[in-house]
Amino acid sequence: MTVKDFMTVQQFINKDKYGLVARAYEFAKKAHQGQKRKNGEPYFNHSLAAAESVAEWGLDEATVAAALLHDVVEDTPRTLDEVKQNFGEEVAFLVDGVTKIGKVRYRGVEAKVENLRKFILYLSQDIRVILVKLADRLHNMKTLYAVHPQKQKRIALETMEIYAPLAYRLGMQKLSGELEDLAFPYIYPEEHKWLIANVKERYEEREKYAQRFKPLIEETLNKNSVNLTKIDSRAKRYTSLYKKLLRYDMNIEQIHDLVAIRTIVNTVEDCYAALGIIHKLWPPVPGRIKDYIALPKPNGYRSLHTVVFGPEKKLTEIQIRTAQMHDEAEYGIAAHLAYQQTKDSKAYIERRTSFADAKTLSWIQQLRNWQKDFSDPEDFLRSLKIDFFKDRILALTPKGEVIDLPAGATPVDFAYQIHSEIGNKCVGAKVNGKIMPLNSELKSGDVVEILIQKNKKPSGSWLDFVKTGSARHQIKAALRQGKNENPALRVKSSPQKTEIKIAANDRIGLLKDISAIISRSHINIIGVNSGPSAKFAIFKILCESTDKNKIEKLLLKLKKIKDVKEISYRLV
């Protein structure tokens, strides 16, 4: 139920029989000929479903063509070059982007989820790539029942954690909710059964109530000459209801927006006028009026929400917004692109955005600000590049895990980011399958494999090129520890040993007498050097102690040995 009507794939084809969409349709259908999906349907049905979605979102013909062709390179003998030859750079670029994203895997590491979302956005480069990917995922979720159960869970989880939030961040609330609802039963089968059993009747009853309430609102607004574009009702989605129930002790009586009434009016002024008129007849619940027009949600959502005591004194949520707000709420960034494409500058009203959490959502803000810089829609579409990762690079482990690093980071930074032990034992790195120097700069999208060796210690020279503070810190810590373990390193820093020099009239058994006294003093002998001089034999004895008292006591004892003439010591 959209306010705006967009073309279907067939309408694109009817409009231009030799256009991009018509040719992509034939090319993809032929390429996938004979292939079947897991549910037994022809494979091409999937490509067509993805294309219908992007067409429904109002995207341009290059995107619709790319959606038709999105699995051609990955799953048929057709190559990217052939796509380029037949459909040009733009379509080939979009197809290539979708293929690349398809290779990223989500492995359920909570801390890495945000990185992965960013990475998918980065890989997309062009917003239209992510939109095709979302259309692809939507149809895959609709046919997930046919897939192996183990794979079902992984794909559902990936949808819930990565793609639904991504759609939400792009303002595509309808798609986001749809993806969540499709994933929910695979991830929480018990909870889903509970919801169906406990909520279904309530939904139906509320829906009937909304049908009775709607004409009353319509009549009132008309009487007060507020132009009503459309009025309908929307049932709250299961996943969103479940999340809310968790906050309300599973008490369904507390949920007033199970079925909300959506009122679409002409202008922003009409929104506030309608709110006032409705409140006169059906009093609002204090504290439940939300003005998302003055203060949009972080994802750009704008609307007025109120909960009123409706007929029969039943609490009901009413949402009031303009047609454009409605399209943007449903289709988000896609609606934005569509408005751009219609070149209808009046339709494009600059958003008043107020971001609740500027830090975590700053990339959306950047995205939106950057959109505003384009007045020419052609120019805007052509330069739909995401460049807000200027200061960060996102590299991948061979398993597809995303590692977030500052620009200029090296394989050593990457290694320490994975684990301090990987960093310490790092001896080399393969970047995209090729051995690269440890000080080479990584780029976003690089697949980095760290080569390690047991008992390896980090090199001090790494400190000259590492970019992350954590790598620097850990290299220093490992170097300090290394010094304590390696005796050869001790000599250089502070004295660790004592050399005792003894001049004596040499005789048989003299060295034995000397060493017996030293060991009785509990001092270890590391080495003995002896050689004749002019008058006496000279013994240089290296001892493992630097305790001055201990050494001097020892010296007194050594002096008493028969035939010892002179004795001295020094720390080394």
Encoded amino acid at 212, one letter: R
CA distance 23 to 29: 10
Q: Closer to Mn ion by CB, 28 or 164: give it.
A: 28
Residues 71-90, interacting with Mn ion (CB under 5 A): 71
User: What does DSSP assign to residue 36?
Assistant: B
Looking only at residues 434 through 463 of this chain, which bind Mn ion when binding is defined by CB under 5 A? Answer: none
The answer to whether 60 is a known catalytic residue is no
DSSP state of 535: S
Which C-beta is closer to Mn ion: that of 97 or that of 296?
A: 97
**Helix 149-158 / helix 127-142 crossing angle, nearest 10 deg:** 140
Applying CB under 5 A, what is the total number of residues that bind Mn ion? 2
C-beta closer to Mn ion: residue 136 or 158: 136
Per-residue tokens: 401:
């895990």
Q: What angle do CA 11, 14, 15 make, to 5 degrees?
A: 85
* Residue placing its CB nearer to Mn ion in the complex, 46 or 336: 46
Q: Rounded distance, CA 188 to CA 424, Å?
A: 42
Nearest distance, CB of residue 102 and Mn ion, angstroms: 7
CB-wise, 136 or 328, nearer to Mn ion?
A: 136
Residue type, 211: Q
Complex with Mn ion: residue 141 or 431, whichever CB lies closer: 141
Least Cα distance to 441 among 466, 417, 473, 404 occurs for 466
d(CA 315, CA 324): 27
Least Å from the CB of residue 311 to Mn ion: 47
Closest distance to Mn ion from the beta carbon of 101 (Å): 11
- 564-571 and 402-406 strand pairing: unpaired
* Smallest separation (angstroms) from Mn ion to the CB of 167: 16
Distance CA 412, CA 377 (A): 43
74 is catalytic: yes
Residue 19 near residue 13, CB atoms below 8 Å: yes
- Binding characters for Mn ion, 120-159, by CB under 5 A (x = yes): ----------------x-----------------------
Establish if 401 lies at the interface with Mn ion (CB under 5 A).
no
Between the alpha carbon of residue 306 and those of residues 211, 279, 284, 285, 530, the distances in Å are 18, 9, 7, 8, 99
Shortest Å distance, C-beta 136 to Mn ion: 4
In the complex, least distance from residue 28 CB atom to Mn ion, rounded to whole angstroms:
11
Spell out the residues 6+ positions from residue 257 whose beta carbon is closer than 8 angstroms to its own.
236, 307, 317
Residue 188 neighbours by CB under 8 Å, 6+ apart: 242
CA 522 to the chain's CA centroid: 61
CB under 5 A: which stretch of 67-75, 341-349, 416-424, 432-440 binds Mn ion? 67-75
CB of 119 to Mn ion, least distance (A): 19
Residue least distant from Mn ion (Cβ): 136
Which of 5, 26, 74, 328 is an active site residue?
74
Contact in structure between 528 and 541 (CB atoms under 8 Å):
yes
How far apart are CB 124 and Mn ion at their closest, in Å?
Answer: 15
Query: Given the rule CB under 5 A, which of 68-76, 355-363, 428-436, 450-458 is the region that contacts Mn ion?
Result: 68-76
Q: What is the DSSP letter of 442?
A: P
CB nearer Mn ion, residue 56 or residue 449: 56
Coil, strand or helix at 445: coil
- When the beta carbons of 51 and 260 are compared against Mn ion, the nearer one is 51
Q: How many other CB atoms are there within 10 angstroms of residue 352's CB atom?
A: 11
* Pair of tokens at residue 56: 């429904």
Separation between Cα atoms, residue 94 and residue 125, nearest integer Å: 9
| Token couple for 498 | 């004592």
> Please, what is the minimum distance in Å from the beta carbon of residue 125 to Mn ion?
19
> CA-based angle 237:240:241, to the nearest 5?
80
Q: How far is the CB of 46 from Mn ion (least distance, A)?
A: 6
What separation, in Å, do the N-terminal and C-terminal C-alpha atoms of the chain show?
88
- Of the two residues 71 and 90, which places its CB atom closer to Mn ion in the complex? 71
Q: How far is it, in rounded angstroms, from Cα 430 to Cα 427?
A: 11
Which of 101, 381 has the CB closer to Mn ion? 101
Distances (CA, A) of 448 to 141, 318, 405, 420: 31, 52, 12, 16
Catalytic residue among 56, 75, 291, 449: 75
Summarize as ranges the residues that interact with Mn ion (CB under 5 A). Answer: 71, 136
Q: Which residues are catalytic?
A: 74-75
